[in-house]
Amino acid sequence: MKYRHRREPGLLPLLAEILEGTANLSGAACAGRPELFDEPGADEDAQTVRYRHRAAVRICARCPALDRCRQWASAQKDLGGMVVAGRKPRLRGAQPHSERKNQR
Ligand code: SF4
């Protein structure tokens, strides 16, 4: 394993090094509200997941960090089943839109 040498000793330089390359999402509207954004729970029904994910998307729409979050999200390989940057995940077992239209 290869280790990098820190330039300066101390906690702040260490934190700066750890955070280097992470998105600046200061002001993120989702802070403290992970329960709306998280991926589906093991025993959570699909209707509940859709309801809270829609609520999360509405929060993203008003988020001052939306543009930065979108930029960060576009560089990620996999965002899992979470709502990120106003985008809902495609859930396993979710019906395609065309099938949902026929049920109305
Ligand atoms: S856009 Fe949404 S996921 Fe991204 S920081 Fe804002 S509230 Fe959080």
pLDDT per residue as tens digits for the range 31-72: 999 999 999 999 999 999 999 999 999 999 999 999 999 999
Cβ-Cβ contacts under 8 Å for 88 (sequence gap 6 or more):
53, 54, 56, 57
Query: Could you tell me if the CB of 69 is within 6 A of ligand 1?
Result: yes
Share of the chain above pLDDT 90, in %: 54
Please return the burial class of 4, using the count of CB atoms within 10 Å of its CB with bins 0-12, 13-18 and 19+.
exposed
Q: What is the pLDDT of residue 15?
A: 76
Distance 17 CA to ligand 1 centre (A): 23
Band (pLDDT 50/70/90 cuts) for residue 104 is very low
Query: Could you tell me if the CB of 82 is within 6 A of ligand 1?
Result: no
